[in-house]
Every structure is written in structure tokens, then in C-alpha cells.
Chain A
Amino acid sequence: MTYVDRPQGQSASPPAMPLVFPAVPVPGQSIAEVILEAAAGNCYRGAGHVISAAGIEYMGDPSLFARARGSEDRLATTLRLPDGADLLRAITPYPVAGRPGWSQFFGVPLRNLHRDMKHRRVSPRSLGQSLHLKAIWSVKIFSFDPLTKEFLLDRCPECGRRPTYLRTYGAQYCEFCVDTDEDGFPCGKVDFRDFPQPLVEIDDMEALDFASDLINPERRDVQQLYGRLHPDLAEFDAGDLFELTVATACALTTSASWKSTTLDRPSRQEEYVRFTPEVLSRAARMLLDWPEGFHRIAAEVREGATIRGGHFGVRKELGPLVALSMDANLVPEIQRLVKRRIRLDMSRTSSVAPIVRRAEHRHSSDFIPIQQAAQEYGLSRRKISRLAKQGLIPSIRVSDAAKAPVLVDSRQLAEIVGSRILGMPSQSVAVELGIPRACLSSLADAGYLIRLAPGPLSKPGGEFYLKDSVDALRRRCEMMASDGPRPDGWVRITKGVNRLGQANANPWPRIVERILAGDLQIWRVEGRLTALMTSYAVKDVHELAFMDSSDGRIDDDVVFTQAEAAGFLKTTSVKVNGLIRLGLLSAQPTASDLREFARIFVLTAEITDQLASRGRQLRWRDVPSLLRASGVEPVATMDGRLGLVWRRAEVADFIERATE
């Protein structure tokens, strides 16, 4: 419920009538205190009498502050303050333009939330010295009177109710506890002055005074305050600095259970008990000792990081301060200032211990997350994780964090995976050169490539070759290429080798040898295919027919990939995979495995080829029915009815009979 003044142009309000006794505003009182004391001074029970005497109509908001706004001229008449309208305007909390939720507090912008517009608090000792209420007591941040340093009384010691700005028996009395005076009239019973409260006892009283002086209308010269501040802070007005102090106090009192990324600010009266004088003094000390004060606070906040939610990072370490740097109630300039200080603090403290941090906050790259290591060293995260688990590289992980990143020792990892850095895996070399991986070792044996010693990362059978040796071989071969147009009938080297159909053979050492010796003339083939032996061509296939099967044979222990095995068996990798599933081949077949398989079994495609080579052209799909008609049954069937595996011995008899 409120009284509001009608805007000009509407029907006239009743004229303002002066009170019997004039109000006597004292410095430090806002409009509500002045009106309440005027009511008491005129023996009115309610402040509403003063408001209605001023002709301010009743509209539904009980706050004296709201009711008085815009009616200062009328109130000045009622309160009998000639020329007092300007004074009343100065002590009325007018909204701050462009800052919703903020109002003027004696010329200093202050958040409305910080003021209690309904209930009043008192300092019994202050009332004893001067029987006046003070506006600073309505600021919920302060639990004490800034001058007497006495804790404020917010409830009647007898009835336990909270005094308001609406009724009064006098500034010093509880408005609910009634007694009878000597004349038999109702009067206040509980005199707050009879209940002095404890005094604030903290070490840093200077900082506490600073915090209250920022907004206290009875403060000392404000220029003295600013004279003490660091230039970074001196550019902000007192309201902004006060809000920074409040926000810092919030950060200091943020509980470990606070999960939100925003600052833990109080929203109810009861939550303002967090702002103890000690906390406020620590927050104010941060401003006084800026910037070192900030880093002290940061260290304090960081000490509580272990009990704070989260696992690592700047939020884990300085969570409340990070929230402070994004607090919407601070002006953007202060937010930026705090963010800058946080960054500086993180860099200052980065060498303290190998703690888990993001890259930009780490002092050195000794320990890096697995994700980063995987990117830097070209290893999969799984492999690095395995190394860490096996203890082959030192690692750090936040305890009790299931998904916390693992930091691994970068240097150690570099040593271990040195071969991966300096060398190339055999598969990559095969792709680079266009030569089957199984044949690479023979090139190394011939001295064209340098094989690296296997390390912890090497899989069984896995090989690495010195990258420089691969590059050198490629460079040497390219230097031997002939200029000029390619001859008619040219064929790429890899294609020529495949046409020769000697998958079991290893012609590559000889090919390389002849190229480098100039015996085999090659030409460059431009195109998207970049593998060495694919991007160069020979005159014709016959140029490559210099070799025989005994000339080069793949070592038995060379491990084939499924694709390579498919080439070896003249089938597809899908079929090879099917054979592996049937258990007819191992998952990582060696050359001897493949040879053994080829000795015992045969696939339909090869049977068709053999029949064709003997002059009997059959469709590939007709072969199984012919075999079955001859009493030959497949050993196994892969996916689809045509993926058949036959026993070579049985099939050989059939081929003999069929081609006779």
C-alpha cells in the first residue's frame, strides 16, 4: 500500500497541511527516518498521518521511500521545512538512470536490494547519544553502526518482532510493545537504549571504516578515501567500489556447496548475516591494498579449492572470484579489471606445483593433458592413456575425479615416442612409397630404408622406419626419373607389378635397385596418386619381368594387414575378413599363414581363373554348382552363398577332370 502523488494535470490532491511541530532532519537521515521522526514528534502513531497530511494519496505500497518520491514539495510544506524540498529530494532514493535496481543513497548509487525499506534497525548506543534514526542502518550489508561500531538491534528484545517504518512510539521504542504513561496514554514500553549491543571487535578496523565510508552519509571527506586507492580503482565512483566490496565479501563467503557459476549473492534478509564486520574488512582491505590485496584474496580462495566442487581449472581454484569477474552488478570496467587480475594471479601461481590446469594457465609444458599430447605427438589418446596406466610415463590426475583429465609428462613421452616423431610407421611408409608393407623390411635389409628399434608403443610385428630415409629414397628415385613425354604403352610401376601376378614374390628390392642404378627408366605421372611407385611409370609391363619368384620372397614372419592379405590371396579384404571370422586365418596373418592357407584352401575366384587358363571359360557363379555336381562340397561358406571356401586337393582333381 502506498501514497503516491498524482502527476500534474490530473485531479488536484488535497493541499499539503503543515504539522504542528516541524521536522528536524539531521545529517545521515533519509526521507523515511525524517517522516517517522516527524510522526513521533507530532504524537502520531503512524507515519501515514504525515503522508496524508501532505496530501499524498494512498495507493498500496507501504514503503515510505516510494510514497515520498516525487512529493518533496508537499512534504516540505507538511514537515515545515521552508526551502526544504531540495533537501528532501537529496535524501529520497531516486532510481539511477540506466541502472535498473539501483537508487541514489545520498548521492551514491546503491542497489535497492541492499536496503531494507520496510524494517528499521537501531543502534542503542547511538540512540543514547543522539535520539535519531540513521539511514545507514537500513543498509543490510552493515550489521553494525559505522560510528559507534555497535551491532544493530533488528528485533525487539522482548516481543521479538521487527520494528518498521510505519508505526512509532518514538525512535527509541519498539512499536509493538505498549505501556501506559503517567497520563494514562499508550506509549512505548521497550526502550532500545536499555539494550546496548556488543561492539565490533576486529583487527582491521581501518578497512572496515573504509567499507562503510564509501556510502556512509556521515563519512569523512571522500577525497581522503580516494587518495588511498590504487589508480586502477580510483577511477570508479564510490557506489561501484562499494559494490565491488560487497561482491568480494560474497566471494569470500561462498560456500563450498555453491554449484552455480554466478556469484553467490544474498537474496533474503537472513542471508545478509554473511557480511560480518570481519568479512567486510577483508573485502575492503582488498581494495585498499590493490592489487596485492586481490592476490591475497585469491590465495585465500584457492586454499578452499580442495573442498570446492569441480575437478580442475580456474573455476576450481578461484571459482568465486571468477564469478565475481562476471557479476552483472559490477560495471564492465571492474569486471575486466578483475579478469585481468585473475589471469595475472594464475600466471603468478603457475609454478607452485604441478596442479591440473588448462594450457593457458600452466607455467610450463612439462605436463600436458592426454588430449594435447595426442595432438602434438600424433598418437591416439588410448595409447597414451595405456602408457600412463602402465607407468611407462609419469602422469597426474585429480583424485576422486572420474573424468578429470590426465596430465602426462611431455618430455618423457617425447622420448618414448621418439621413434614416432623421427620415424614413420611401416603402414605410412607403404602408403608413401606405394610398396606393400610386407616388403619394406627387405628394402631395409638392402639398405634403402633405415628400420627403427621397436619401442613401448610398437605393436607386435609393428615396424618404424626413419622418416628421413624414406624421404631420401623417394628423392633419389625421383631424381632418376626421365624427362620428356611418357612412351606409348606406359604403365604405372605398381600396376605393372600387380599385372605380373606375383603377390607371393617380393620384386621391390630389385626394382629399387634398378631404378637407382639407371637400369629401369621411369617417368613421372601427374595426378592425384602420390605414392612413389604409383606416380611413376615404366615403358611397359615387360620392363618389370626381370624377376622370378625365387628372386625375392617375402619373409615368413612379415605380418600382413587384411588389405595386404587380400592382395596376397587375390581376393577382397571383405573376404579376408570373412575368413578370419571363420577361423581359417589369424587376425594378423603372417606371410607363412597366408601361404599355408593357400596351400590347403582355394576360393571360387581362383578356381574360375584356373579353369579359364585351361581353356574352359565359365561364369564365376556357375562354378560352385559344377563342383557340387562332381561331389565336391565347400569347406566353409562366408557371407552370401557365393563366398565359398574349397579344399584345394579336392578341387585340383575336379579341374583335371573338367579340362581333359
Chain B
Amino acid sequence: MVDGRVEAEFLKMCIPHPRMSHAHRIYDNLRQMKVLAPNKPQRCACLFAPTHSGKSKTVEAYIETQIVDELIAEGMFSAEMDRSEIARLQRRALHVTLDSKATTKSCYSDILREFNDPHASQGTATSLLARVYHHMRKHATQILFLDEIQHMDHRQTEKDSKPKRAGVCESTAVTDTLKTMLIRGLVPIVFIGIDEAESMILGDQQLAARCITKIDFRQLRNDVPEDLEIFLDYLGMLGIKLMQHGLVKEISDLLEKNLPAVIHAVASGRLGMASRLVAAACTIARERKATSVMAEHVSAAIEEWAIPMGLIDYNPLAQGLHGFERRAA
């Protein structure tokens, strides 16, 4: 039950929402800070949320829209050039995904790899870091997105080997280095990761003090009107996008009856997970030659994808929403 076209179109799809716009404004401010005070200590921001909340997507969307627009306007790339290609080639905003068990050196390597450095992992940690500084300065990088921050090695630095206090996460070698980057005014950093990684950054008081904000990307609650509005707008726009991307012939009404509540229950309020469920439903709809995605397709998707994946253990469309889920949703 895999349709490559559907998966590809969903990857290309970008549905703006207020939280994304809010995050983009924060990114803009961080960049503005770097531009206006290039040699002063920079700040950081945090974006911690459960998986498939759209954290990485917001960064990708920021680069492909805001950054690419700027670069085209500045004449650094042609307007005719593919935007994704521009996003790949540009170095103004750097989106780095940390490798597993990231040490200081592997962290530098990941950053250098993003620069396409042919010797990203060759050399001492110092020489790699020097190259990171060099490349960033020479490329005038304005913002660094460090994704999957939970991959950071949690080992402490020597200086902090003293007995740690309960509930306080001490600094690590990686955070120390990143902190130094901020202090030296190299680049503002946005730390992105799952909730469990929050203590890795904000547990370090010095780093926490440099964090200007925690970007809110928690699950959308169905008992919070603003969250609910975001979710409903997202589903409405998703139904339109399915047709715009040529996956189905007609606009899909994903807001009919209790469909939003069911999707919300299955996705646990996570926009990314909601998109995955609708993608599965769209695949089934295309298999059944349907002109739009309907509740029966969503129901089948829950049966065939969500339940096996452990997102939910029953089909709310067939059995009705349980009370717990209703409250949670």
C-alpha cells in the first residue's frame, strides 16, 4: 500500500499555518540580529516537539520560501532556477541534521558535510571547527538549524565532572562548543529536537540564558480553540492540496462530519502525523479510482496503516471515538 507519487507529492507539499509563520518570524529575527550585530554574541532558539510535528518541515519551508526569495531578489540565483535546487545550493541558512551519538567532531563534520566539504570528517576536531568558522564566515551564513539535537552525545565535559545536582543537566562538550559559537557571534542557532532533548540545551544554564524563545510546536489540542482552528484549517487546506498536486481530481472534504476529530485522535494532534494518515488514505483512494479522499478511505487507512503502526488500537470511524480520546483530542 505504497504509492510513490503520493509520497513524493506530500514531501513537496507545504501548508502554512500560524505556528509555522510564528517560527519563521523567530528565524527572521535571529537572522536580523546576526545581520545588524554580526560580531556580537548571538542568541539561539529552541524547537522541541514530538516526532512528526512538522519541526523539520518548518525549517525546509523557511529555506525554500523566505531564504530562496531573498536570494533570488538579491540576484544571487536566477528566478528560473528550481527553488529546491537553490535551497540545496545556498548557505545563508544551514539546516544540519546531527548524526547519531554526535560528538563535537561529528557535529563539526555534519556541519561541514552540509557545506559539501570533501574532507568533512578528515582532520582534528580543532581543524574541522576552524573550517566550520571559515566556511560560515565566508558564506555569510545567517542562521544554523541543528536538527535531531537528541542525537547529541550526553557525556559531560571534564570541567563539569563534579557531582551533578538532581534534575539539572550539565553542559556537554557539544553544547559548550555550540555555546562558544554563539558567544563569538558566529551564527545564531535554532536547536530542533524531540521533547526529551530539551534538557540537553536548556539544562545548561549558560545556554538557556542565550535562548530567546522556545518555539511552541506541541501537539494541537482539540479543547483549545486556537489549536483546533489551526488543525481544521490545515485539514481543509490539505484537501485542496491533494487536488492541486494532481493526486485526486476533486477537492477532498476532510472536514466532513467527525473526520477532523478522528484524524486528530489518530495523529494525536500532530500535523505531520495527520498528513501521513491522509497520505495513506489518498493512496487507497487512488487505488479505488476515487475522485477525492473520503471518510471510507480514511477508515481504510486507519485499518491498514495507523493500527499496524501502533498509532491507535481501534478504528474510530467504525467504532466511534472513545471518551478518553475525545477528551485528549
Contacts and interface: CB of A to CB of B under 8 A. Distances in A.
B127 interface: yes
Interface string B102-123: 0000000000000111110011
A58 interface: no
Interface stretch (A13-21, A258-266, A519-527): A13-21
A212 interface: no
B138 interface: yes
A186 B119 CA distance: 18
B131 A43 contact: yes
A20 B115 contact: yes
Given A183-B133, A183-B184, A17 B126 contact: no
Nearest to B115: A20
A254 interface: no
B318 interface: no
Contacts of B135: 20-21, 43
Interface string A28-55: 0000000000000011110001001100
Interface string A172-186: 000000000001011
B119 A44 contact: yes
B116 A43 contact: no
Contacts of A410: none
A182 to B, nearest CB: 8
A419 interface: no
A78 B126 contact: no
A185 B138 contact: no
A91 to B, nearest CB: 22
A18 B129 contact: no
B17 interface: no
B35 interface: no
A20 to B, nearest CB: 5
Contact of B130 (A19, A53, A183): A183
A470 B133 CA distance: 113
Contacts of B131: 42-44
B76 to A, nearest CB: 15
A53 B119 contact: yes
Contacts of B130: 43, 183, 185-186
B134 interface: yes
Contacts of B126: 185-186
A53 B112 CA distance: 14
A18 B116 CA distance: 8
A53 B127 contact: no
Nearest to B39: A182
Nearest to B91: A20
Contacts of A53: 118-119
Interface in A560-596: none
Given A45-B127, A185-B126, A19 B133 contact: no
Contacts of A20: 115-117, 135
Contacts of B119: 44, 49, 52-53
A19 B134 contact: no
Given A43-B135, A183-B133, A18 B118 contact: yes
B7 to A, nearest CB: 29
Secondary structure dominating the interface of A: loop
Given A20-B135, A21-B138, A43-B134, A185 B129 contact: yes
Interface residues of A, number: 16
Nearest to B138: A21
A486 B126 CA distance: 125
Contacts of A42: 117, 131, 134
Interface in B140-185: 184
A185 B132 CA distance: 11
Contacts of A21: 135, 138
Given A183-B130, A185-B129, A78 B138 contact: no
Contacts of A43: 130-131, 134-135
B138 A19 contact: no
A404 B116 CA distance: 78
Interface in A144-200: 183, 185-186
A17 B113 CA distance: 12
B118 A17 contact: yes
Interface in B281-324: none
A476 to B, nearest CB: 112
A45 B130 CA distance: 11
A49 B123 CA distance: 10
B118 A185 contact: no
A19 B118 contact: yes
Nearest to B181: A183
B119 to A, nearest CB: 5
Nearest to B122: A49
Contacts of A49: 118-119, 122
Nearest to B134: A43
A56 to B, nearest CB: 12
A516 B298 CA distance: 160
Contacts of B117: 19-20, 42
Contacts of A78: 118
B131 to A, nearest CB: 4
Contacts of A17: 116, 118
A185 B133 contact: yes
A21 B140 CA distance: 13
A186 B118 CA distance: 21
B140 to A, nearest CB: 12
Interface in B176-205: 184
Interface string A47-88: 001001100000000000000000000000010000000000
A21 to B, nearest CB: 6
A78 B135 CA distance: 16
Most buried by B among A18, A43, A52: A43
A179 to B, nearest CB: 13
B113 to A, nearest CB: 11
A202 B259 CA distance: 94
Interface in A241-286: none
A78 B116 CA distance: 11
Nearest to A17: B118
Contacts of B118: 17-19, 49, 53, 78
A132 B33 CA distance: 35
Contacts of B134: 42-43
A21 B139 CA distance: 9
A472 B119 CA distance: 109
Contacts of B129: 185
A44 B131 CA distance: 8
B243 to A, nearest CB: 41
Contacts of B115: 20
Interface in A189-235: none
A47 to B, nearest CB: 12
B96 to A, nearest CB: 14
Nearest to B184: A183
B128 to A, nearest CB: 10
Interface in B22-36: none
A18 B117 CA distance: 8
B78 to A, nearest CB: 16
A23 to B, nearest CB: 13
Interface in A3-17: 17
B200 to A, nearest CB: 24
A581 B117 CA distance: 107
A53 B126 CA distance: 20
A20 B118 CA distance: 8
Contacts of A44: 119, 131
A186 B123 CA distance: 13
A19 B120 CA distance: 11
Nearest to B129: A185
13 contacts: A17-B116, A19-B117, A20-B117, A21-B138, A43-B130, A43-B134, A44-B131, A45-B123, A49-B122, A183-B133, A185-B126, A185-B129, A185-B133
10 closest residue pairs by CB, A with B: A17-B118, A43-B134, A185-B130, A53-B118, A43-B131, A20-B115, A20-B117, A49-B119, A183-B133, A20-B135
Given A17-B116, A20-B116, A21-B138, 7 more contacts: A19-B118, A20-B135, A53-B118, A78-B118, A185-B126, A185-B129, A186-B130
